[in-house]
Amino acid sequence: MKLLKLLFVVLLFSCNDDSSESLETGEPKQIVVTMMNPNATDITNVTGTYNLEKNKEYCVREDGKYKILLTKSEYEDKDKKKQEILTYSIFDVANQKYLYYTTGIDVAKRLEKEWKYYRTYDPEKVDIQNPVCTSNIKEE
């Protein structure tokens, strides 16, 4: 019986992984963030090119000051129940705080990088008409 288990383990580890990387996780992409009103004094200017690391759920701006992270957040709905929401957030590395958030995203669309960012992730407080900034995949 021990020999059978050992044989199974050997077979398991000798199998080749013939899977291939998908376009979403293949070559690292660059994401460009553009401010909607770059002259506003009440916002942090996070404009720049962010490098998406291969097979990662986050990007880092070229100078390392900001990251775009996939995050789970909680908010209270009208009935004061806590709700979880998946968003992309722009994170200030030096100050260790989140600055801007996308609206809730579908898990299946999490690898898309064209988003509008707002000051809050709470769907009841988001001003859809006034995003702070946008992100797009850099055209080559």
| pLDDT > 80? residue 63 | yes
pLDDT in tens, 72-120: 877 777 788 888 888 889 999 999 999 999 987 776 766 677 899 999 9
What residue has token string 């001003």? 127
- pLDDT for 32: 93
Residue written as token pair 């006034």: 130
pLDDT digits (tens, 9 = 90+) for 15-62: 444 444 444 445 667 899 999 988 888 899 999 999 987 767 788 999
* Number of residues in the chain: 140
Distance CA 132, CA 44 (A): 9
pLDDT given for residue 122 in this prediction: 81
Q: Give, for 115, the enclosing helix (H) or strand (E).
A: strand 115-117
Q: Phi-psi category of 134—alpha, beta or left, where left has phi over 0 and alpha has psi -120 to 50?
A: beta
- The span from the CA of 72 to the CA of 57, in Å, is 12
